[in-house]
Amino acid sequence: MNKRIFSFLIVVFIISFVNVSAKENNLSVSYEELNKTDVLNYEKDLLRQMKSLLEENKNKDVLNSINFENTVKVFKVEKLESIRDIENAVNNDSYYYRVPLLVDSGYIYSTLQINKNKVESYDTSMIFDKSLNQVAYLFETSIVDKIVEENKLDYTDIVVFTIPSIKTDFLFVKKGEKTLVIPFASRPDFLDVENGKVYEFEDFSELVNNLLKDISESDNNLKSKSGGGIGEFIYSYSHIVFIAIFTVLLSIFIKGIGRIKLY
């Protein structure tokens, strides 16, 4: 075989391999994207928070640096009424970076809220349950590969979203014209889903909206039963105190009149 043709085939093979590898579980953001923000400036702060968590759990095993290569960009949605909510979240300047730090007695990870390429807030947490939970996809990267392979998801795009109010992350998978969801919820039983299972977007969004509706109705019932909340409670309490003081003063006044001698 001609050497030039052989070299060309080798190059084509390498390029094809790189493209396939990049597609597999390509959830992590690049350093180039991270450098557009000030995330890397917060390494010491995140390490300090992580060490504090480990000290609370009496573990002296600590990291001295953070590998940001596995950082995942997570878009925030408050509701899932339609695909438009997904599109709005992706186009929003506000989103999260989740950074896996350490697997100890649980998963330790940091979440940084970004707004217009600036860190607005950050927090480091530990989830003790190491089963298929809200952030399992951050640490067990083979999970996503396995789900994709088992369900033959020849996807064209895969993006991570979170619904903070119900502590649920999910992978939004586009497969041609189909839109699919793979949930990772902290309480899948509340949402009535199975973590790591593939759902049609419409089915998943219905479950999410049902739960959000139930939560909203529970909050409203709680407010109505409490008679308008703490403001009304303080108002009623102040009236009770006023009546009690008035009663005591009136009693003293009446006793005082009884003691007056008439000449």
Q: DSSP letter for 260, please.
A: P
CA distances from 62 to 28, 58, 73, 108, 207 (A): 23, 11, 25, 11, 40
Query: If pLDDT is split at 50, 70 and 90, which confidence band does 254 have?
Result: low
How high is the mean pLDDT of the chain? 80
Cα–Cα distance for residue pair 45/101, rounded to 1 Å: 13
pLDDT at 103: 84
Residue 11 is predicted with a pLDDT of 35
- Nearest in space to 201 (alpha carbons), one of 238, 247, 163, 170: 170
Pair of tokens at residue 56:
């609370």
Pick from 190, 183, 153, 150: which is nearest to 169 by CA? 183
For residues 15-40, average pLDDT? 67
Please report the pLDDT score of residue 16 as a whole number. 34
Q: Are 80 and 163 in contact (CB under 8 A)?
A: yes
Q: Which residue has the higher pLDDT, 253 or 219?
A: 219
Whether 4 has a pLDDT exceeding 70, the answer reads no
Q: Which residue has the higher pLDDT, 73 or 219?
A: 73
Q: Tell me the CB-side half-sphere exposure of residue 182, using CA atoms within 13 A.
A: 26
Task: State whether residue 103 is helix, strand or coil.
Answer: strand
Q: What does the pLDDT look like over 208-217, one tens digit per residue?
A: 999 999 998 8
SS3 239: helix
32 to each of 35, 65, 139, how far by Cα in Å? 5, 19, 22
Model pTM above 0.75: no
Res. 153 pLDDT band, cuts 50 70 90 = confident
pLDDT at 150 over 50: yes
Res. 236 pLDDT band, cuts 50 70 90 = very low
pLDDT exceeds cutoff 70 at 237: no
Strands 118-127, 107-115: pairing is antiparallel
Least confident range of 24-28, 126-130, 240-244: 240-244
Q: 127 with 172: CB under 8 angstroms?
A: no
Q: Which contacts (CB < 8 Å, 24+ apart) does range 47-53 have? A: 49/110, 49/122, 49/123, 49/124, 50/101, 50/102, 50/108, 50/110, 50/124, 52/124, 53/108, 53/124, 53/125, 53/126
At 63 the pLDDT is 78
